[in-house]
Amino acid sequence: MVAYIADNGGEIFGRHNLSKFIENQVRLDTALEGIPKSARKISPKVAEMTYVEAVHSNEYLKEILLLTMKLKPGKADFIDTDTYVTRDSFEVASYAAGSAITAVDVALGGENCFALVRPPGHHAGPDYAKGFCIVNNVAVAAKYACEKVDKVAIIDWDLHHGNGTQEIFYNDNRVFYCSVHGRGIFPGTGSPLEIGEGPGEGFNLNVSLDGDSGSEEYLMAFKKEIIPAVEEFGPDLILISAGQDALSDDPMGFMNLEPEDYGTFTRLVCDISPGPLALILEGGYGPSHGMAIAEIWKALSHE
């Protein structure tokens, strides 16, 4: 069984929107085209702030809230060159994080769940926004999951390395973060030498790939490195930072993946997962994004 989390026509996530910017509501609408109309839909829920504060500093969250409160309806401001906020962005980001938590609950309840949310999250660190990301949704979900289970694995297949997620769990031996991403691109982190520190040493895995990598290179990364490492870790729950911006037609990318490749990755992860998966949307900006979501859905449905 598979469920998904989404709002109705952008009524929540569409309130964080800058139409001329690449991270906008249109890309989420495109992703949702890949979901069957008969699928079970769950409405987004706001995260309790205690869960968000377990990942981000109070000072940072207050800073974002105050910045948004100063904005007039329909206006936006940039935290950095890549990350904007509107008057409603703090609340919208709280809905995205809350939806990631809901995806964990659904997965632990016995059903695969895909949280189709925005803004994305994996670049947001403990005290900073970055790369379109304000609240680190998958990190909030993983911290929450650690209250329910002993060990959590995060597999991040977004084109870009999840620097924020890595930083949040870099000293943590309960959360194993592994990422496959493009080498030498934004945000400049993700070296294979970054393996964690202190109690977290050995619980961080980065696989960086050259530009123009396709199915063969990605499959080798999964089969030779990611899948064996996650199996050895033995998680009770697997979360996926599901960014589909390595598609060949993605304007942000330079890789050669096709939609069916994401179905293949999903099947590989399903085969080693101790139970249902919780997936949280990250990047994905191209015209075939919805087709990639459809392939992921087929794999989760064992079609």
Catalytic residue set? 123
Q: What count of other Cβ atoms lies within 10 Å of the Cβ of residue 217?
A: 17
Strands (E), 106-160: 112-115, 152-156
Query: ∠173-179-180 over CA atoms, to 5°?
Result: 155
B/e letters for 142-160, b = 16+ CB within 10 Å, e = fewer, are: bbbbbeeeebbbbbbbbbb
Q: 3-class SS at 78?
A: strand
Do the bridges between strand 278-281 and strand 112-115 make them parallel or antiparallel, or are there none, so unpaired?
Answer: parallel
φ/ψ of 43, rounded to 5, equals: -75, 145
Q: What count of other Cβ atoms lies within 10 Å of the Cβ of residue 184?
A: 10
